[in-house]
Amino acid sequence: MMSNTNELTVDVRGSLCPKPVIETKKVSDANPDAVITTIVDNEVSRDNVEKFGKSRGYGVAIRQDGKDFYLTMTPNDNPVSDGSCEPMSFGNRVILMTKDYLGEGSEELGRNLMKTFWVCMVEADVKPSKIYFINSSVKMVTNDSVHLENIKKLADAGVEIAACGICLDFYGVKENIGVGSITNMYAITDAILGDNIVKL
């Protein structure tokens, strides 16, 4: 991956978003002063990596070779954020998860989107302060959940994770909770009324 101490290459050809952005971010976080070249093979990844680079204050040059795109990101003298020595940042948002899939329409697609959502949430520079789980979303904090590992990472990072006790009882999974605490609708309602909440 490394050509010398100041130039790094991230070859993510064959990968779809968000992986190219996440892998580029990891290298950027660990090496804020390096020139990074990310290689992708689709336009969506090209555009998303370019947006990431600009959001971090890099100068971004793009070169195409066949179907491959080479995005060379050069640190500016005054970068927006190098992300390397900053403490974990928490926003003032509370997320209310209402189901175990994301969006409306196809539940199969929604469950795939949910997997990507938690990966992106773990990698995000700013984390929510709390995530509440109600209705079928409580299944995501159980020991057999495919999302458990990423939700645990958020809890380990300091995000408050809490699931509705009534909902856990309804689905018969209260004894199988794998992360976070059990809360009640009063506490959730209080948060909805008092905090900057995002419902998903």
pLDDT in tens, 34-93: 898 999 998 878 888 888 888 778 888 989 899 999 999 888 754 444 343 334 455 678
Q: How many CA atoms lie within 13 A of 35 on its CB side?
A: 11
Kindly report, residue by residue over 100-126, the tens digit of the pLDDT.
898 888 889 989 999 988 988 888 878
For residue 195, the model assigns a pLDDT of 60
Q: How many CA atoms lie within 13 A of 103 on its CB side?
A: 13
Q: What CA–CA distance (Å, rounded) separates 121 from 150? A: 8
Average pLDDT rounded to a whole number, residues 166-179: 92
For residue 79, the model assigns a pLDDT of 42
3-state secondary structure of 166: helix
For residue 159, the model assigns a pLDDT of 85
Q: What CA–CA distance (Å, rounded) separates 101 from 114? A: 6
Alpha carbon distances (Å) from 56 to 49, 79, 158: 11, 6, 24
Q: Could you give phi then psi for residue 90, rounded to 5 degrees?
A: -115, 130
Q: Domain 2-75 carries which CATH code?
A: 3.30.110.40
How far the first Cα of the chain sits from its last, in Å, is: 38
Range name among 54-68, 111-125, 166-180, 185-199 with the lowest pLDDT average: 185-199
Extract the tokens encoding 96.
Answer: 């209310």
For residue 178, the model assigns a pLDDT of 92
Q: Which residues pair with 60 in a beta bridge?
A: 73
Whether 99 shows a pLDDT value over 70: the answer reads yes
**Percent of the chain beyond pLDDT 90?**
22
Ordered by start, the domain boundaries in the chain are 2-75, 89-199
Q: What is the DSSP letter of 176?
A: G
**Percent of the chain beyond pLDDT 70?**
88
Write down the pTM of the prediction.
0.59
3-state secondary structure of 148: helix
pLDDT classification of 194: cutoffs 50, 70, 90: low
pLDDT, greater one: 148 or 47: 148
- Which fold does the domain 89-199 belong to in CATH? Hypothetical Protein Ychn; Chain: A, (3.40.1260)
Q: Which residues pair with 162 in a beta bridge?
A: 132, 181
Q: What CA–CA distance (Å, rounded) separates 162 from 183? A: 6
For residue 60, the model assigns a pLDDT of 87
